Structure 1
């Protein structure tokens, strides 16, 4: 029974989270309760709790994590100052003559908005409010319109600069160094957030391209949406003037990271300042907007770091109860070795994506499974991108996908829930296809970071 305490701890946390209890308090409170049980049964050394203050101090002073509030500020500023809405309107005009041009513009703008916010709910709700009525009015079926919005909203998991990749990079970097130290390698180069950003570029762009190809196929086939009439009268210079500033901001943020001119944290500061200047240039930087942006940023950042603190305590107790050894022995006994172990982890993360947010999975599950997979020879960059796309797929999958719930909350009553579910199925197939491609050709993830490091 004592040997099963780590498993019971994990199951208890999942059950409490499903019941709707606050994540940070659930993680910390349940971990402390099981630590008490472990102390009473002799399965947990109470001296391990003395390391908690140092762990929390290290977390709160982690320079990499400063990028989280800065990227959140950048995305919320673009949203609240109506820059994202203007970008969608003008992109629709620019793509209006293409078959399925409005849908393509939703994908392109949604990809940029998803990259800047990194929060699935915010992107899906924003795109649903801005574009769903227009898509339906232009002749898109409810299935195609809702599927496009849901799939586009989840792109923030994979397209850099992404908060999900920032958090994954920090956790995977720590897990990688831990696994290397366990193997007696003391000078291993850490996996950085920048590495994940570079590794996500090809899969992210490939996924957007597959979405666009699918929309073109539907536009030429069963769907005959109307073109955006305003595109014929829109002056090209006016369109470029509206499209270039936000695009330039995202290119500046990514370019500064890829060129080595700035770290992800420094680039996040550039993005936050750039979004503020764009809002001021558009005369949208009112005191009320700035106050809303500051409040939203503080709320989201407090949530992230609260969960991180709770997850740090959970991780400490889980390891102290022997959970890492239990997971390692379980994976070693699986037939098929590293392939089966990786498939089991991917399936577990996919299923947990129905009930847990990506932040919770990143802080709770990844630190448990990543060191074991690294010890079995799995590449940390490849694993990080696979996890991000896997979570993105689970957020789309009926009946529990988070993106579906978010869109259902803002969709009109004329759009049935079943239509939303049917609409996301082709996009789920596309994402599973991408996962298969990355599994068969890991170089799609690892090649560009290798070139970037060599340069």
Structure 2
């Protein structure tokens, strides 16, 4: 009976979350209820809970996680300073004579935003407000327009600096240390967030190219879905460069400092936050009211992330107390195909959970459970982190709870049907799954660049 309790506990959390209760309180509350029942029935050792204060303290004092509020502030500051708006206008004009050019410009600008903000909600809402009305006015198929905007918005999950990679790096580092200790290695290595950032560069670029290739093929087969803007004037090169150079310089400052080893991801996040503030000042968009607005939004997002972290710490502790980790370990080891079969089933579970749970919930609940097991079986930690990140990226697009769909629905005009949005994102989900298959077949696409730079 006891071996089924972790499964019931996991299902109970999913059920509570589907009812719409706050994630942090759902994780911690469900875990404590099961722990209380387990103590009364003798199935749970209350001494497990004595480790909770150390876990909470370790989370709050973790220097790696300082990057979260800094990257959030950087993204929100860029959103409020209208850098993206100017960049999109110039790119749209540049590609205006190409069929599907506006959609391609959305992908390119979205990729640049992802590399300078890393916040999915901000990118989807910004691109939805700026580009969707223009695309619809020019006669674009609503499914193509909404699908491109939603999918482009999720690039912030995989293109560094990504908050998802910061969180994954911290959790995988702990999981990697646990895996090494279980194998008798008492001087364990860690997984740095910087390695994940570097490992994500090539897959991120491949994904952008796959998006553009899909758009070109789609409009070739269905020209009426993306009419050419005949009256579009190409702006002068100086105007295009004026809108392009500032965000590119910021990207180079943040990622370049990590790549050359001049700064840790946390230090680079500080550079990014300062750089975004300076850009806003240069554009005349910086004032006391704007700083208050950015500070409040940063505090809200950061508080949400850390509350979920603490709730997940309680959940994982109780889950282990019921022997859940041993149960999962035994199950994965019995999978046919060995490490390949175990990795495949974990990826499938994460993909299916993406239909009902947010990426933060999956990261904090599932990864600490399966991470140590897969890493102990010999899986490369950087490769595993990028595979999970791309898999989690699909959770933003998969109905019914894809957050990118909700974000766009909130800013899309009433003439756009929800079914159009759902229809538009399905091809991009398959593109992301195709990228997973490509990386699974050629892991060097992830591991090659970090190894080369080391």
Do both share a fold (TM > 0.5)? yes
Q: For 1:189-338, list aligned pairs within 5 A.
A: 189-223=189-223, 224-227=226-229, 229-232=231-234, 234-338=235-339
CA displacement at 1:228 relative to structure 2: 7.5
Aligned to 1:90, the other structure's residue is in SS state helix
2:67–2:266 Cα contact (<8 Å) kept: yes
- Aligned partners of 1:102 and 1:293: how far apart in 2? 30
* Residue in structure 1 matched with residue 414 of structure 2 by the alignment: 413
2:83–2:243 Cα contact (<8 Å) kept: no
Q: How many residue pairs were aligned? A: 452
Deviations 1:88-132 (CA, angstroms, capped at 9, x unpaired): 112222333333221111111112223333332222122111110
Q: Which moved more, 1:373-382 or 1:145-154?
A: 373-382
* Residue in structure 2 matched with residue 93 of structure 1 by the alignment: 93
- Aligned partners of 1:44 and 1:451: how far apart in 2? 48
* Residue in structure 2 matched with residue 381 of structure 1 by the alignment: 382
CA displacement at 1:43 relative to structure 2: 2.6
Structure-2 change in CA distance of 1:298 and 1:400 (3 Å): closer
- Aligned partners of 2:294 and 2:2: how far apart in 1? 48
- Aligned partners of 2:24 and 2:399: how far apart in 1? 27
- Aligned partners of 1:26 and 1:323: how far apart in 2? 18
- Aligned partners of 2:117 and 2:349: how far apart in 1? 26
CA displacement at 1:402 relative to structure 2: 2.5
Q: TM-score, structure 2 length as denominator?
A: 0.96
Q: Which moved more, 1:87-96 or 1:166-175?
A: 87-96
- Aligned partners of 1:368 and 1:194: how far apart in 2? 23
Aligned to 1:419, the other structure's residue is in SS state helix
CA displacement at 1:26 relative to structure 2: 1.2
2:359–2:395 Cα contact (<8 Å) kept: no
Runs (4+) off by over 4 Å:
none
Deviations 1:170-205 (CA, angstroms, capped at 9, x unpaired): 000110111100100122321110111011000000
Deviations 1:236-261 (CA, angstroms, capped at 9, x unpaired): 11221121001110121000001100
- Aligned partners of 2:115 and 2:353: how far apart in 1? 23
- Aligned partners of 2:98 and 2:429: how far apart in 1? 24
Structure-2 change in CA distance of 1:229 and 1:263 (3 Å): farther
1:354–1:402 Cα contact (<8 Å) kept: no
1:198–1:449 Cα contact (<8 Å) kept: yes
* Residue in structure 1 matched with residue 133 of structure 2 by the alignment: 133
Q: Which moved more, 1:397-406 or 1:80-89?
A: 397-406
2:28–2:312 Cα contact (<8 Å) kept: yes
Q: Which moved more, 1:425-434 or 1:439-448?
A: 425-434
* Residue in structure 1 matched with residue 118 of structure 2 by the alignment: 118
1:125–1:406 Cα contact (<8 Å) kept: yes
- Aligned partners of 2:268 and 2:137: how far apart in 1? 39
Q: Which moved more, 1:406-415 or 1:363-372?
A: 406-415
Q: For 1:356-435, list aligned pairs within 5 A.
A: 356-435=357-436
